Structure 1
């Protein structure tokens, strides 16, 4: 069950969340908090997948809570829905360009759209994960999102993809920012200029008169000529690269005119999107008609995109190819956080598995059980680890007990996954033995 933390004292927001979650009671659990220390403790220990921050509640310092999430990006990221009192406050939050925020809503919009947001979350639960808790480390994902003419959908699906790529170490913080900007620009073009046929001049005039384009989008999306048009986002997330396709149902445009065009005057309110996107990602291409764009990003390979705040002061150790990290049956004195590289795990002379930054730690089981090393670990190529002596680790846990809880959860999930695999293998063996009789 996914956890939803509601940070609010506003009954309208609380009632909206409670009512919306009744249809998904088996999938989402709700906890409502108002005390700042209680909230931060809950975020650290419970690691809720969704956090609803109510900026309309004057008694709650939402800025401090957001800062707490951003202070340790390795442990906390993604899943924030911000609720504001008005459009002015909404624009102020948008200016932060915080990649952890899935959606920013006024309180009235939130009341109307929350059930829609929840349905999107329910349909895409695999993207609501904590680091180290993935079902298949470094696995491949292929799929499609189909959204209507709602900027809310665009923000949600953009955040889903980016958070998944980030949590699986395929992109780093800089890549995350660039990809956020690229997807937002390209999807905005598909929505405004593709499906809704909003011209450059029309958008410019509207923005000068009204300040933003949202009311124009709402008005145009209600037009029967455009109301049923959709945007299709197709993704193929692999080990070496990730490919994303965006297709709208508009008439297309002359994309050649905009690729590489940097001559947009400084005073212009928009128009740099396509040129900017082509600079931030590799192999961007349009179909002939101009209503579909495909681009690739090269994944980071065998590299952790950030180091836990609590572990940043420990010694970093580098290894060369085939250098031994630890030997089977030797005493356990250190835990290793994987910064980069791949590591071959041998039991006796048999290769058991290969570990990477997605496995987070080396030697965690024997370390916690106070046992001897159960395997020999060899570096594969050039590698980097953070070495944490046992005494220092215990001291770190005393200062940051939520890290100990995180490690316990991660190990429990690995054990659960291994148990599931063992059951499957036993069932297959039983079938084979039955067929031989």
Structure 2
């Protein structure tokens, strides 16, 4: 039995003619599991943004390396806060401590040390009073005893990172904060997995490449550039194979070439059952394939499978994972976000948390939305934040699957789940926000 058939047999309720969104996601999780990248390299931090860590990064020392002040003020022994009878504390200022330099010399319980943010806390001193609470007269500082408690405004050694413990985990994608964290550990390079190679092409005799003159009945290929943007934003190494005509031999050559050059392949168009849609037949001839009608809108037709390669690689036993997406521009984006993006993140080596779909934002619908239970719908919406209340969302523009302008107008997808019915004004809905994804 083929791997596709094995996965299908293990999924409860699997029906390729009416597969739920959850069923697609479960299927893809199984399909890509053996194909996760293993090949490693080390790259400078300036080149590591968005890369996936190949191993845990263990902190070689405490961060911060010493107890230090959380603000500008005066450090002192917090025990003196228990003793004042007048309601005020008066201490002798014994010197100044600056960040980046160590101060030496004995201090007594009645002393205070003027201290700057980040400066080392002297031995025996555990509290810092902010300078705005203080009155200074010569070498004496005075402040209200009830302005703070012992231990306030002190950062502890190892409060951020503890020596010997993981600072970042294998499978995490490096964010700007992650780069800064590695730099705080003195790491000039990051141990990462190589970039995932993804080949893609558009299909169809009705599409024009940029630079071709207009032709009646033809449209310019937008999917090629949309998919390029989505893959680049994801951090993939993109292999652009351009546009392929509806010719079986050309399609077979393109898929074979893509499998040799990439870990994954994305096509747009040609996965329905039209007479001119040769892509479906060629895919089936070349690889182990599944063809679905997904219970979703937009994006009903979809194909997934494995295209073998003759050369050995570090992905799925010499096969490239194929995602055959619909041809309509919005359907391409929706199926990519709902299915392909999480699968590619797993292929890249991301752990479960980093490969999960983006969190949903909860918002109130401004207007009614018609919806029948039995399929998942993704409608383009525009979310507006309101002070002291849930955000509001309104449907953005024409919701046709070929209307790409509504993806530009919207800032998220209103996700109407499989069992959900129509939405009334004021009802709460889930929104998959575009920021950082699209």
Alignment TM-score, normalising by the size of structure 2: 0.25
- Structure showing the higher helix proportion among its residues: 1
Specify the structure having the higher radius of gyration (Cα).
Answer: 2
- Structure showing the higher strand proportion among its residues: 2
Alignment TM-score, normalising by the size of structure 1: 0.25
